[in-house]
Amino acid sequence: MMDFLFAFNGLSDMGWLLQNYGPFVAAVVFFIWRDYRREDKLSTRIKELEDEQRQVILPLVKSCTEVITKNTQVMEQNVKVMDRLNSVIDRTLT
Q: Which domain holds residue 6?
A: 2-93
Q: How confident is the model at residue 29 (pLDDT cuts 50, 70, 90)?
A: confident
Mind listing the pLDDT tens digit for each residue in 38-89? 999 999 999 999 998 889 988 999 999 999 999 999 999 999 999 999 998 8
Burial per residue of 46-79, b for 16 or more beta-carbon CB atoms within 10 angstroms, e otherwise? eeeeeeeeeeeeeeeeeeeeeeeeeeeeeeeeee
CB within 8 A of 25, min separation 6: which ones? 17
Q: How confident is the model at residue 8 (pLDDT cuts 50, 70, 90)?
A: low
Q: What is the pLDDT of residue 14?
A: 74
Number of domains in the chain: 1
